[in-house]
Chains A and B, each alone.
Chain A
Amino acid sequence: MVQMNDVRMVYDNTSAVALDGVDFTINEGEFVFLVGPSGSGKTTIIKLINGEVAPTSGAISVNGFDMTAIRRRRLPKLRRTLGVIFQDFRLIDKMTVYENVAFAMRVVGASGRDIRARVPQVLELVGLEGREKRFPAELSGGEQQRVAIARALVNNPRMIIADEPTGNLDPVRSLDLMLLLEKINELGTTVLVVTHEKELVNAFSKRVIAIDSGRIINDGMDGYYGYETE
């Protein structure tokens, strides 16, 4: 569960107002799209959720952690409840597909036995069976994206956050990816997807939070809102 109350975010170095009084709640088990033009503050919201940055003012609670008072030492605990898929994948080039996913488990102290059992399971879920020994450079953009998803999923997070996951994908693959995220959501994980793609958003009847210039301009089930993309 994510709850933001009147959150303002001004980056110290640029004094750009990234968020200007944001209020919303995402409940356990929800599937939510976050849409808005470039620079509207979408990535900032994600960074606030996983504790990469702290808000200038306002209150944020994520999976029971009070983000305005959280100690640095507790951040790993919070992050283990989240699976973040970055726009640029952020895979480790010198590790194979299998290692990229297994590494996320090793980092949180999973046993070798659990890793060997869990990783193939997740790779199968995202449709990467048979690609285990490849390096990221030997995969297509869509396959790399799936590795990032598998890595986000592998530790059974309570919430999956995807920042423009379809940015590099063609429409068919984008739809596939959304269907995968929907499947994951049906298995009980909360999902937050940041996207620009109107058609994709409208293909699902999900809750959409629309943001512009750091303010929420719409929040509801009525499809893509606001700013038009081609």
Chain B
Amino acid sequence: MRLNRFFYLLGQGVKNIFTHGFMSFASVTIIIACLLIMGCFSLLTMNIDTMIDEMQNQNKVIAYVDETLSEDEARALEDKILAVDNVESAEFVTREEAMDNFESDYDDNVFENIDPTVFRHRFVITLSDISLMKQTQAELRKVDSIASVTAHLDYAKKFVTFRNIVSVVSVVLVVILIVVSLFIMTNTIKLATFGRKEEIAIMKMVGATNAFIRLPFVIEGLVLGALGGGIAYLLMWGLYELLTERVMTTMASGIITIIPFYTVALPVLCVFLGVGILVGVIGGTTAIRNYLKV
């Protein structure tokens, strides 16, 4: 009898670990997936925001000169440009210089011997008040023989649209994933409550508080959630470093600045652990809610 009971309990225990173990694994995995997606999108948004900021803070516009003008004629435009409101200074750059800059930017032989005529003479204009950039740009365009005027701000606008799309997509995804995580977490912990309905009813009859009864299940959720949060953080870190390295070795490295991971490490860790623990604790609480109505 004794031995039978022992083997029975052992068998049941092993079985539980496997069924329950699989569900535990599933709930931790889904939390990790949720957090990783959340992290990727937030970090992407943060990086875009930083870039937008940087662009917007550059108070420079480039005015391209009509290509029919000779270098001297082009140079002569400087006075007219300086006469425009809000222009602090203007630096003339010849098409040859522009090409040199371009080539050195790319540090490569690909662009060697390009015909300098594809570049235009230009003025790099510094503004005194960045908030008037739009008006100044328009006025500069009115100057004779100025073909076009571009500002980094124009690129910034495109980035803002992109950023907004990323934000919306990430919010929707995160909400869906959190709901799924909660569902799986609740069902995982429900497994631990099976066969304990009677026990819980007895606890209530002898005067146990709901908090006391909930505690083991909430702890189970907390551990699973914290585990998911921790693993997701490590994966996020690795992924971020990997992507940073990839981006930095491409051509884009000159244009794109990436926030180093250490500056966001702590908030990311806190949010990941927080969300993981929250999902776990809510899951644990929901799992036994029905058992407490005695």
Contact = CB atoms under 8 A, between A and B. Distances in A.
B262 interface: no
B198 A80 contact: no
Contacts of B5: 135
A109 B212 contact: yes
Contact of B206 (A77, A79, A138): A79
Contacts of A77: 207
Contact of B207 (A52, A79, A92, A138): A79
B255 interface: no
A90 B205 contact: yes
A76 B294 contact: no
B294 A52 contact: yes
B206 A155 contact: yes
A217 interface: no
B207 A90 contact: no
Interface residues on B, range: 10 to 19
Nearest to B5: A135
B203 A107 contact: yes
A92 B206 contact: no
B206 A107 contact: yes
B193 to A, nearest CB: 14
Interface in B1-48: 1, 5, 9
B207 A108 contact: yes
Contacts of B206: 79-80, 104, 107-108, 151, 155
A144 interface: no
Given A76-B207, A109-B212, A92 B294 contact: no
B289 to A, nearest CB: 13
A84 interface: yes
A50 interface: yes
A151 B206 CA distance: 9
A104 B203 CA distance: 7
A135 B2 CA distance: 10
Nearest to A152: B206
Contacts of A94: 9
B209 interface: yes
A107 B204 CA distance: 9
B199 interface: yes
B243 interface: no
A107 B207 CA distance: 7
B202 interface: yes
A108 B208 contact: yes
B114 to A, nearest CB: 80
A84 B207 CA distance: 11
Central interface residue in B1, B5, B9, B205, by most chain A CB within 10 Å: B205
Contact of B199 (A52, A79, A92): A92
B177 to A, nearest CB: 34
20 contacts: A75-B204, A79-B204, A79-B206, A79-B207, A80-B207, A86-B205, A90-B198, A90-B202, A90-B205, A92-B199, A92-B202, A94-B9, A104-B206, A107-B203, A107-B206, A108-B206, A109-B212, A135-B5, A138-B1, A151-B206
